Amino acid sequence: MVREVRRQFDVLVVGGGPAGMAAAARAAECGVRVGIVDDNANLGGQIWRSDSGDGSPREAANWVERLRVAETTMLCGIRIFHQPEAGVLLAEGPDDLHALSYEKLVLATGARERFLPFPGWTLPNVMGAGGLQAMVKSGLPIRGKRVVVAGTGPLLLAVAAYLRRHGAEVPIICEQASWSSLGRFLFALPGQPGKIRQGLQMKGELAGVPFVANSWPLAAHGRDKVESVTISRRGKTRTIACDYLASGFHLVPNLELPLLLGCKVDDGCVLVDDFQRTTVSSVFCAGEPTGIGGVELALVEGQIAGWAVAGRTAEASGLFAERQKLRRFARRLDAAFRLRSELRNLPSDETIVCRCEDIPYSRLRRHSSWRAAKLHTRCGMGPCQGRVCGPATQFLLQWNPESVRPPIFPVRVESLGAIAGHSEPERSEVTGGP
């Protein structure tokens, strides 16, 4: 029998990354009763994920201390999967079910890596760049391993530097963006001293590692696991031996919970007003669901949302100018790392696109929409619920995968029972579910 825990908060924050921690701390410091939920074992989100060797970074520890002093309830290791009625969210823990009631909600659910399918991408040891970094942080030995890093976005550099610090050999970093895009992006950096500092540090850490623009992975090869990768480099191909291929194509916002709650989404991001309010009353959103912008923007948006939910609009407005500057930077980031159209040719007919349901590209291409493909092939209906193949088909086939249904994560049968006990808020045009 699963234990059911009920809790009530003035403000509930979903997501314990920089945005969520900043929102929860600011709100709690105003004296309201705040709960913060994250599905990882510790707060910190993707960037401050604690390292089994090094412990949590200092910034994360500082925010956690502020949350503790402000008597915030920190609920880690539980995952929100459904809203059975307005003002209540259901979350599943390792052996319990939580019904969390709130007056106001801040969604700070972050982003995930975008993967593009190419021949061999399902081989063992072909991983997302951030995914490999997370595994090394959890103890995967990487010393002496040869890791090709390929795809797009600043995360590639952060991951390569991290892996090298931990003893990996990085023979090459392949960036699909062109030098002219990267040049325009670098030109915008002078207004961002934090980014310049970070960039210079990584430049030092990556000294001697070739960074190649106009370059991307074409195929991974190997028998039982990846042994080499063929890359395209300025129109020529080259095959490089490796133990791992770390490949990611920038980030996409985690929109499942905002969509389930009915928040309006525009161009792949949650729409918010000046105070980070979504189109749903009492629901705010901060950090990467509103656009991919990096840790500084996540912290500023989180603080604005935290003050706004506590009614401190004057304090919140004090950060508008800073947010404006960081959003300009985010727009440049988006433009610089936009995917080039050649990448649409990456998958062959046989390449598996939906890994959960083993659907090859040739079967998907016969359909005209995400909905039709789901109905006819079960694409996007496996355990990841379209989190991987959704953004891939959005780019490859220009489909719109923004349809969700509870539960937004696979859950135990007992938890499904909790959904059945409530009326379901249908938000999608299509049937899904695991």
Ligand X SMILES: Cc1cc2nc3c(=O)[nH]c(=O)nc-3n(C[C@H](O)[C@H](O)[C@H](O)COP(=O)(O)OP(=O)(O)OC[C@H]3O[C@@H](n4cnc5c(N)ncnc54)[C@H](O)[C@@H]3O)c2cc1C
What does the binding site for ligand X look like in residue numbers (CB under 6 A)? Answer: 14-20, 37-40, 45-47, 79-80, 108-113, 130, 155, 158, 251, 254, 257, 287-288, 294-295, 298
Q: How far is the CB of 289 from ligand X (least distance, A)?
A: 7
Closer residue to ligand X in complex, CB, 138/348: 138
Alpha-carbon distance of 49 to 63, in angstroms, equals: 13
Residue pair 404/428 in contact by the 8 Å Cβ criterion? yes
Closer residue to ligand X in complex, CB, 218/408: 408
Closer residue to ligand X in complex, CB, 38/402: 38
Closer residue to ligand X in complex, CB, 46/377: 46
Q: What is the CA radius of gyration of the chain?
A: 21
Q: How far is the CB of 53 from ligand X (least distance, A)?
A: 15
Backbone angles phi, psi at 213, to 5 degrees: -85, 175
**What single letter denotes the amino acid at residue 106?**
V
Closer residue to ligand X in complex, CB, 112/367: 112
Alpha-carbon distance of 341 to 349, in angstroms, equals: 18
- Dihedral of CA atoms 36, 41, 45, 46 in degrees, nearest 10, equals -160
Q: C-alpha angle 261/431/16, rounded to 5°?
A: 35
What DSSP letter does each residue of 339-390 carry, written as one string? PPGGGGG-S-TT-EEETTTTEEHHHHHT-SSHHHHHHHH-TT-STTTTTTHH
Q: How far is the CB of 195 from ligand X (least distance, A)?
A: 9
Closer residue to ligand X in complex, CB, 296/357: 296
User: In angstroms, what CA-CA distances link 111 with 135, 233, 270, 330, 379?
Assistant: 17, 29, 12, 14, 21
- Dihedral of CA atoms 284, 287, 288, 293 in degrees, nearest 10, equals 140
Q: How far is the CB of 112 from ligand X (least distance, A)?
A: 5
Closer residue to ligand X in complex, CB, 194/210: 194
CB-based contacts of 186, cutoff 8 Å, min separation 6? none
Q: How far is the CB of 361 from ligand X (least distance, A)?
A: 25
Q: How far is the CB of 287 from ligand X (least distance, A)?
A: 2
Alpha-carbon distance of 125 to 366, in angstroms, equals: 30
Q: How far is the CB of 297 from ligand X (least distance, A)?
A: 8
Q: How far is the CB of 51 from ligand X (least distance, A)?
A: 11
Closest CA to 334 of 276, 251, 392: 251
Closer residue to ligand X in complex, CB, 39/175: 39
Closer residue to ligand X in complex, CB, 247/254: 254
Q: How far is the CB of 239 from ligand X (least distance, A)?
A: 27
Q: C-alpha angle 29/26/409, rounded to 5°?
A: 120
